[in-house]
């Protein structure tokens, strides 16, 4: 078909595809913002997928056994919004008209929890593909436990060239191939175009050969040949031996008479004249906007009755199945009740244990009470203490174990954990060294943006990991993490606070939590202060750990391993008659949302304040004030034994006490 002459659609299917393109063009043109090229180019393939293969119920978007569809190339959001509207989801034509406008259900990129039918937030390229691996893993694990009568769905992805350029997608695809996730199918919009131009300017690899080497099945089709796409989708669904990449060769901006195949359609509206001309090419009325014929609606919705019947039959199977109640409990866990039943570990005051090892003790206790707990590490299981001892490690041959070997793939590990979380049925936690948070920061941001309950277990949390030196010493990372909305950053000082931090993380259902843990052993601390337990204190973010015995003059605020240092400095100061309070501040985010009266009680206005943390100091001013001070490290670390680093960087009781006394003579 030439894009320069009228196509005059002769079939309902052709008209249905062209209507999908027209809705995308109209919405983007009205917003004067958006990406029309992908929706126009992938309309044929998406139409076939949604009308023939996708198992979903538009009236029940959260049906647990639905197929998942992930638009990894989230800039093409109008393709998804058009499909959701046409197939009967709760997304009105008015919402399409409000594309990218304040308060609409049609934001510029799909957002999880904002629009029914959006399975995960996408936009940062490669994240959607990688989260889909987590969704497919979640399905495979649940199916291995509950059987295919109760768990029987597929994960479908639409990805673009940019998604496959990003390294995170390769990390995740490597694991998908290793695990033989045969119910994962990726439609690659192989249009050879990115924003800057033809992909050849920066991308020359054989993508299909790469994915084949990763253990994927490869299919190649003309993405505009709907019969060929249909055959490929059927083949992909029937082959469960390995994941499938379907390379759909397409023309970006399909049917645009002047811009088809051009990068100019990638990220800009076509313009009124080109929209009209394109509608003429497609055989549509150029004077009609946001128009859908009744029979087009009927075509997109002709399977809805059948799919709703499948949903009803699934609910009946669950109700009758001996494992049905257990599945529903896994999909909708009663976290509060579960947390109350956990036998939280403890140890006597003075006993010494690294908080990474304390975390491992907690993990064993939690896993005994939470069958859905699923842990893993980026090739640091022993160092991170993330192994669930009662279980082995999952593999392509056995998906039932609760431990995952992610290999050295921090970014994909975080994204896969997000996919597991949004899929449901598992509470994922993942581990690595704190400094490598930077390798997974985009995935952590997505956890926070989607408000997903992922627990990040970060160990080796300061310069005190010692000889590995500044490349492994995360001096700036804590403060960077504390700036992420919805993320709780927890740095406990002993086993009691570590257990409390895990409890906080499990109860924090509105976002992820990051536990920042020590390599070195720390003593268990006896609590007196206000009689507050570690759980009560950590749940408030900061609390009085040790009260002044003399009239209060000074407050030392510390986190993690530096809490013991603050207590030792307090002893020196108290011996000199300086009334000194020690405040443990394991979670700034939780402390900041406490009532003002409590915060003022913990950090009273009349006392001098000093913060102590083995990291950058710039953000501690909000607690210590203009007249306070901070003992920290505003430079990168060094390679030396931990005790030498403590001396050289001033993390000694004597230096902390001296800095504190300087505040009292100002």
Residue (of 162, 177, 182) closest to 75 by Cα position: 162
Q: Specify the pairing of strand 552-558 against strand 579-584.
A: parallel
**562 is annotated as an active-site residue:** no
Instruction: List, in order, residues 6 or more apart from 436 with CB less than 8 Å away.
Output: 378, 410
Residue-by-residue DSSP string for 347-409:
--TT-EEEHHHHHHHHHHHHHHH-TTEEEEESS-HHHHT---TT--B--SS----SEEE--S-
**Catalytic hit among 145, 381, 410, 613:** 410
Chain-centre distance of CA 454, in angstroms?
7
Taking CA atoms, 613 is separated from 413, 546, 554, 634, in Å, by 28, 17, 17, 11
Mark 509-526 as b/e (b = at least 16 C-beta within 10 Å): eebbbbbbbbbbebbbbe
- Is the backbone of residue 537 left (phi > 0), alpha (psi -120 to 50) or beta? alpha
Chain-centre distance of CA 503, in angstroms?
20
Task: Please state, in angstroms and rounded to a whole number, the distance separating the CA atoms of residues 587 and 501.
Answer: 9
Crossing angle between the packed helical segments 324-331 and 127-146, to the nearest 10 degrees: 150
Q: What share of the chain is helix, strand, coil (3-state, %, to 5)?
A: 45, 15, 40
Task: Please state, in angstroms and rounded to a whole number, the distance separating the CA atoms of residues 229 and 223.
Answer: 6
Distance in angstroms between the alpha carbons of the first and the last residue of the chain = 83
Instruction: List, in order, residues 6 or more apart from 70 with CB less than 8 Å away.
Output: 119, 120, 122, 128, 129, 131, 132, 135, 155, 156, 157, 158
Q: How many other CB atoms are there within 10 angstroms of residue 395's CB atom?
A: 14
Cβ–Cβ under 8 Å, residues 208 and 245: yes
Q: How many other CB atoms are there within 10 angstroms of residue 322's CB atom?
A: 6
Cβ–Cβ under 8 Å, residues 607 and 624: no
Dihedral sign computed on CA atoms, order 48, 51, 55, 61: positive
Residue (of 475, 438, 473) closest to 614 by Cα position: 475
Q: Which residues are designated catalytic?
A: 410
């Amino acid at each position: 078909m030439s894009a320069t002459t009228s196509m005059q659609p002769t079939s309902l299917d052709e008209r249905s595809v062209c209507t999908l393109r027209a809705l995308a063009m109209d919405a983007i043109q009205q917003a004067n913002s958006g990406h029309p090229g992908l929706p126009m180019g992938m309309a044929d393939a998406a139409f076939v997928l949604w009308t023939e293969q996708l198992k979903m119920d538009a009236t029940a978007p959260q049906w647990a056994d639905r197929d998942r569809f992930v638009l990894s190339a989230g800039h093409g959001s109008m393709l998804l919004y058009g499909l959701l509207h046409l197939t009967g989801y709760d997304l009105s034509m008015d919402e399409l008209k409000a594309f990218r406008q304040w308060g609409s259900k049609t934001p510029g990129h799909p957002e999880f929890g904002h629009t029914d039918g959006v399975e995960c937030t996408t936009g940062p390229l490669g994240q959607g593909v990688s989260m889909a691996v987590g969704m497919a893993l979640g399905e495979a694990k649940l199916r291995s436990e509950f059987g295919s009568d109760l768990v029987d769905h597929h994960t479908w992805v639409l990805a673009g060239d940019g998604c496959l350029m990003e390294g995170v997608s390769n990390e995740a695809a490597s694991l998908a191939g290793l695990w033989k996730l045969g119910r994962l199918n990726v439609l690659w919009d192989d249009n050879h175009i990115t924003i800057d131009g033809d992909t050849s300017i920066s991308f020359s690899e054989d993508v299909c050969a790469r994915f084949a080497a990763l253990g994927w099945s490869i299919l190649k089709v003309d993405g505009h040949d709907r019969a060929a796409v249909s055959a490929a989708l059927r083949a992909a669904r029937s082959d469960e031996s390995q994941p499938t990449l379907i390379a759909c060769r397409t023309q970006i901006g399909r049917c645009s008479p002047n811009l088809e195949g051009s990068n100019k359609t990638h990220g800009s509206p076509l313009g009124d004249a080109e929209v009209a001309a394109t509608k003429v090419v497609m055989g549509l009325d150029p004077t009609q906007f946001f128009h859908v014929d009744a029979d087009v609606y009927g075509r997109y919705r002709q399977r809805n009755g059948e799919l709703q019947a499948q949903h009803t039959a699934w609910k009946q199977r669950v109700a009758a199945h001996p494992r049905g109640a257990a599945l529903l409990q896994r999909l909708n866990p009663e976290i509060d009740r579960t947390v109350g039943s956990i036998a939280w570990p403890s140890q006597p005051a003075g006993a010494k244990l690294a908080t990474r090892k304390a975390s491992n003790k907690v993990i064993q206790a939690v896993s005994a009470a939470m069958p859905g707990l699923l842990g893993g590490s980026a090739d640091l299981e022993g160092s991170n203490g993330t192994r669930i001892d009662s279980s082995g490690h999952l593999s392509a041959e056995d998906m039932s174990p609760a431990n995952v070997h992610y290999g050295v793939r921090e970014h994909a590990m975080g994204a896969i954990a997000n996919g597991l979380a949004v899929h449901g049925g598992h509470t994922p936690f993942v581990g690595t060294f704190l400094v490598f948070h930077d390798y997974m920061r985009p995935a952590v941001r997505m956890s926070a943006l989607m408000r997903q309950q992922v627990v990040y277990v970060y160990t080796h949390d300061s310069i005190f990991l010692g000889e590995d030196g500044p490349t492994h010493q995360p001096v700036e990372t804590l403060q960077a993490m504390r700036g992420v909305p919805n993320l709780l950053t927890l740095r406990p000082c002993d086993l009691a606070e570590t257990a409390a931090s895990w409890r906080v993380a499990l109860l924090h259902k509105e976002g992820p939590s990051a536990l920042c843990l020590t390599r070195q052993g720390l003593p268990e601390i006896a609590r007196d202060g206000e009689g507050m337990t570690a759980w009560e204190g950590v749940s408030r973010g900061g609390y009085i750990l040790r009260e002044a015995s003399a009239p209060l003059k000074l407050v030392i605020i510390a986190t993690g391993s530096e809490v013991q240092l603050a207590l030792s400095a307090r002893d020196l100061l108290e011996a000199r008659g300086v009334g000194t309070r020690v405040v443990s501040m394991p979670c700034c985010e939780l402390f900041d949302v406490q009532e003002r009266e409590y915060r003022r009680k913990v950090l009273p206005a009349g006392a001098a304040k000093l913060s102590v943390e083995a990291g950058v100091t710039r953000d501690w001013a909000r607690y210590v004030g203009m007249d306070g001070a901070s003992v920290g490290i505003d430079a990168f670390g060094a390679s030396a034994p931990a005790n030498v680093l403590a001396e050289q960087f001033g993390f000694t009781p004597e230096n902390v006490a001296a800095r504190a006394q300087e505040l009292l003579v100002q």
